[in-house]
Structure formats: structure tokens, C-alpha cells
A and B are shown apart, each in its own frame.
Chain A
Amino acid sequence: MGMTLTEKILAKHSGKDRVSPGDNVWVDVDILMTHDVCGPPAIGIFQKQFGENAKVWDKEKLVIIPDHYIFTADKYANRNVDILRAFAAEQDLPYFYDVGTDSYKGVCHVALAEEGFTRPGDVLFGTDSHTCTAGAFGQFATGIGNTDAAFIMGTGKLWVKVPETMRFVFEGTSMPPYLMAKDLILKIIGDIGVDGATYRTMEFAGPGIKALTMEDRMTLTNMAIEAGGKNGVVEPDAITEAYVKARTNHPYELVYSDPDAKYHSERYYNLEEIVPMIAKPHSPDNKATAEELEGTYLNRAYIGSCTGGKLSDFRAAAEIIQSNKVKIDTFIVPATTEIARGLETETIFGIPLIEIFKEAGCQIGNASCAACLGGPSDTFGRLNSDEICISSTNRNYPGRMGSKQAQVYLASPYTVAASAITGVITDPRVFIQETVI
């Protein structure tokens, strides 16, 4: 019997010919990523367990990307970045993307891809639940806690329980013009629930997926964790290789699921039948269509984060926002500095995206996680009281973007942009038929 992509990667990294779901295996780690929230405690555990002067197992494989609480006056948050800085210096780490320097990147999951760390066939762990984003590249990638990260820093290994794989097949050859990857994943999460994939792999397949860009595939795999998934994967192809080769010379291995691999379950979707989706407060599986919620009052819109703050997300939003004014407070936060530069160079009808947003009355923030997870009270775009926000981010549990009195609707950048212009929830198809060629 064959194996899935995930099983093959875990078998290879644990020195076995084959593994089966439920096996506990110790795998060799290719990359460990940490950031400013979980890095300092992980470093603390590492030093306590391996000694004050211990060295990490392989400095080429540890990537530290501060991104969460960056543009804040909070003294504890700034102290945490100082801890990372001191550790990177002491360990002489080549991959530390320090705040306030030219190497500063922003949101870790997008930065990992941009810097060439998301390589097919590899095993990547990160101290952040959305580490599953990197599965878009045919990599095994998942989030872990500080103790596990400290264990890897010292040993280069970690135990993993081999997950069963759920397969989601998208039929149809191309994305309809009003649809984004965010709609597909909100639809899936709404169907299977926030624990519908707990302990499992979510494998996204079918001609509909092959038609997606890398950025769109990352939106899908990013939110595997919102269904409880251990990881999300897409088989690599020419699009994957083109992205990876442009960013690293490091070797990689293309791994595919066998045709006779055993799946936990398979679900089929037709792209033509999916419509713009929304997750209502206060859970990512509280699904509705944008059409059903048309007219719902809003007073805040937010476009940003690892799942909804990539260049293609802003391009989509700008297509709708151009030559309009936003009616409610609208915050634009590029995930990384590379994307922030893209906002200046990418144009629609010759106008840079950043000008389109400014002209429409949006506020533009610095590359970071910003209000995606609330953060200290001075965080850009944070919901500080009972705001009702539509957001391209990935979580809307109570208090996720700040105050637990606030309400958050999750939607695609198209839907967020359309709603920002009208001030109420709006199906983007209204605008797309008018403006997008």
C-alpha cells in the first residue's frame, strides 16, 4: 500500500522505509523557526536544560523572525526582542531578521517563504501554530510549543505522531474572478468545524489547486490549524519549483502522495459552486455566505496577516477599492517589508497600490502581525472596545484582535474591500462585475 506525501516525509526523516498513521517517530529537523513571543521562553528553557553556554544543534537551521509585537512602546515586548538579539549574537546565528535593520522582514510565515526556507520534502517546525503555512510547498510543517523548540535547539530532533490524512479535492480549472483561496478554506472549515481535522493532515489537491499561485496556496494551508489540523499540504509542481528556485539554491526533494495512499477521508468541491464566504463572530467555523450577511453593520475593516496580507491580497483589495472612498476605518498592514515595497511598485492602471489605498482613505501600517492578534494596547489597528470588524486574518475567537467586546467577521480581501467601501457586509461580486476586466 502506498503512502501519503506527509507519511513519506516523516518516514524519510525518521530513517524508516515506511510509517503508518498513529506511529510515534523521532524525526530529524531541517528548520526550526521562532519569533519574539515564543523565542525568549524557548531560549530560557534551552539554556536551563542544556547549560548556559550550550550551542544550538545547527546554527544554519535556526531561523529567528521577530514579527509579533514590534511597533509598540510596551517595555516587556521590547525586552523580548532584546533577548532574541543577544541570543543571535551569542550563537552567531546567520538567520536573524532584526528589528530596525535592513534585514527586518515582518510576519514569519511569509518571511520563511520569501527567504527560501519553505523547501519541498523538508521538515520545518515553528513556535507558531500557523507554521502549517509552509505545507503549501510540499513540506511537512507544523507548530510546536517552547519546550519542544528548546528540545530541537539542543538535539535537532522531535517526536511526532504520524497523522492520518484528509484529502480535499477542488475540481474546476480556474478560480472564478470573485473567489479567493480564503473563500475555499472558510468553506472547508465551516463544513468540518474547528476540530474537524484535529490530529490530521489536510491535503489540498485537484486541478483547482494546481491553478492557484503559491500565495493563494499559502492562504489555504495557513488555516489548516483553524480546523485543528496538524499540517496542511499541497503537492509540489512547476509553480512551487519556480517560487523556491527564485529564492534559494538549497537542494530539495519533490515528494508526492502515492495513487494508492490510504486517506482518512476525501471531500470534493467544485470551484464554480463556491461563493464568497464569511466566518461570523466568534469562531472560524461559524460560516455564512457574504450574500446571506449583506447589509450587516460594520465600523472597521482590516487587511493584513500571514493569511491575508500578501501582495496578491492587496492587489485584489486595490482592484475593488480603486477610485472609491472607504466608509469605515480601514487598516492595511503588509505582512513583510518585501510586500510593503511591492505596494509601492505594483500598480493598477499605472497607480501604485499604496496610492490607491491612501487616496481611498485607508491607514497603512508597518510590516508585522499588528492587530491580527490584538497585542499591546498601542498596536496599530487593534480593536480596543466594541468595534465590529471585517478582516482578512485567520481567527475571530473572543478577544483575538484585542477587546473581547469586539466582533470579528473573517473574509477574503475582496469581500473586506467591498465592505470597507459600503460600510456594511457586501458580496464582492457586486463590484467585480463592474470593475474587474
Chain B
Amino acid sequence: MSTTLKPIKGKAFVLGKNIDTDQIIPAAHLVYSLDDPEERKFYGKYALSGVPSAESGLPQGNIPLTKEGKTESEFRIIVASDNFGCGSSREHAPACLEIAGVEAIITPTYARIFYRNCVDGGFLIPFESYEDLSKEVHTGDELEIDQENFVLKNHTQGKEYKIKPLGSVADIVRAGGIFEYARQNGMVAKI
């Protein structure tokens, strides 16, 4: 019996295209441990800190994902233009967004490794939109993603958009990552 997936709700954070992994988490910060509960908070603090200020939090700009002095963001859903997550293979990129409190991303297209890391690591859900919504949605809009029917609702603007079903990775996303998926399918022993 499959359980119903809860909607993802929260404030939007809007970005442009080709947001690469150096903008998501600048390389100088990759030294922190992801396992240490205190050290990993740095990732929440520096998530998206490499995005040029004018392009951070569109359309207005100059809005950081995480406020100065904080390690968690008020924003839950990133809406971006094409090719999100291009650049390096660093898993610190989806991890830092999750640590900052982001639960989902919506963009027309992803860079391959970033997409895969989101799914296999179970960090956050990478949804694909049919059109570029980064021009429609404003940073701070209250959004809701209906995961059962693949609809994005913008409560602030009173609009709705269809988004794409997850396709071949849906089973891994639902399981919560590659390890959970492999355990459910008997590929990896339970510990």
C-alpha cells in the first residue's frame, strides 16, 4: 500500500539560470564536516553565498538565502531557470541546501550530477517544470507543491502550474535515497 505524499509548503526563493555548484557552495567552505552536528551548520550559513548579490532572490535581488548570522533559511522551495547545479560533482551542494532548510527545487532542467545527488542522497526533491517559472514566481511567494498530482500552487499570486512527474527516479525519491531503495530491494543488507 503506498502512502500519500504530503504537500511541500513554504516560501519561494528565486534564481536565474546556470547556477553552478561554486555559487551554491563556494569551494573555500567545502572543508567542513558534513557529519559533525555543529560543523555542518556552516553549510546552512553559506548555502548560495556564491551567487552574485544582484541575482540572489529575484526579481528584487540582494536577498541572501540564509540571513546574516543564521544557519537556517526561511525559504523552503527554490525556483530557478535552466541548468541548475552545473559545475562540480560536490554533494555538498544539495546537502547545504537541505541543511539550510530547502525541501524542493523547481526548474526546467538540471545538470546531471546535481540531479542525481539530490535523488540518491535523499537531500531534497528536484522537480522539473514545463516552463521557466523563475520569471513568474517572486522570492517570498507562498508556494505549495502537490506531490500526488504534480501541481505547483502559488498562493500569493493565486496561480497554478503543472510540473513533471518524477519518472524513472520516482522509486528512489519515494524510498528516500539510494541506500533505502537498495535495502527495500534486497541489494544491501539491513544494519
Contacts and interface: CB of A to CB of B under 8 A. Distances in A.
B31 A145 contact: no
B113 A129 contact: yes
B87 A144 contact: no
B112 A395 contact: no
B89 A24 contact: no
A402 to B, nearest CB: 8
Given A76-B31, A198-B83, A375-B28, A147 B121 contact: yes
Interface string B114-156: 0011001110000000000000000000000000000000000
A206 interface: no
Nearest to A75: B31
A87 interface: no
Interface residues of B, number: 45
Interface in A174-200: 194-195, 198-199
Contacts of A129: 87-89, 113
A393 to B, nearest CB: 12
A49 B189 CA distance: 9
Interface in B85-103: 86-92, 94
A398 B27 CA distance: 11
Contact of A198 (B22, B26, B112): B112
Given A194-B18, A395-B87, A398-B50, A151 B116 contact: no
A37 interface: yes
B168 to A, nearest CB: 6
B72 interface: no
B191 A373 contact: no
B35 A41 contact: yes
Contact of A147 (B27, B52, B109, B117): B117
A38 B32 CA distance: 11
A398 B89 contact: no
Interface in A400-436: 400, 402, 404
Given A143-B89, A145-B120, A398-B22, A155 B82 contact: no
Contacts of A148: 116-117, 120, 178
A397 B91 CA distance: 18
B121 A145 contact: yes
Contacts of A402: 28
A228 B117 contact: no
Given A38-B89, A399-B22, A77 B120 contact: no
Contacts of B90: 37-38, 145
A195 B116 contact: no
Interface in B21-68: 22-23, 26-28, 30-35, 39, 50-52
12 contacts: A51-B191, A76-B31, A80-B31, A128-B89, A129-B88, A129-B89, A151-B179, A154-B188, A195-B83, A228-B83, A399-B22, A400-B27
Given A77-B31, A129-B88, 14 more contacts: A40-B33, A44-B34, A44-B35, A76-B32, A80-B31, A145-B94, A147-B179, A148-B117, A148-B178, A195-B86, A198-B83, A228-B112, A375-B27, A375-B28
Interface of B: 18, 20, 22-23, 26-28, 30-35, 39, 50-52, 82-83, 86-92, 94, 109-113, 116-117, 120-122, 168, 177-179, 182, 187-188, 191
Among all A-B residue pairs, the 7 with the closest Cβ atoms: A76-B31, A145-B91, A145-B117, A143-B89, A147-B121, A195-B83, A129-B89
